[in-house]
Amino acid sequence: MTTDPLASYRWLQASNGNPANPLNDIYCISFLRGLGPDEALRRFGPAEPPGREMSFAELDEVVYEFVQKTDGGDGGGYVGAILAGEWCVAVELWGWKAALPEVLARLSEGCEVVTVARHDYAEDDFSYAVDGDVVTSFRPIMPSDRHGSDKDRLNRLMREVGLPPEEDGDDTWETRWEDMSHNGLARAFSLAAKITGVSFTADLLNGPLLVGAIAD
Q: What is the pLDDT of residues 83-134, one digit of tens each?
A: 999 999 999 999 999 999 999 999 999 999 999 999 999 999 999 999 999 9
Residue 2 lies in a domain: no
Using the predicted structure, report yes or no on whether residue 38 has a pLDDT greater than 70: yes
192 in Cβ contact with 149 (< 8 Å): no
**If 0-12 CB within 10 Å is exposed, 13-18 middle and 19+ buried, where does residue 179 land?**
middle
- Count: domains in the chain: 1
Residue 37 lies in a domain: yes
> For residue 168, is it left (φ>0), alpha (ψ between -120 and 50) or beta?
beta
Segment 122-181, tens digit of pLDDT: 999 999 999 999 999 999 999 999 999 999 999 999 999 999 998 776 557 788 888 899
Residue 28 lies in a domain: yes
Residue 63 lies in a domain: yes
Containing structural domain, residue 209: 7-213
> Mean pLDDT in the chain?
93
Residue 45 lies in a domain: yes
Residue 1 lies in a domain: no
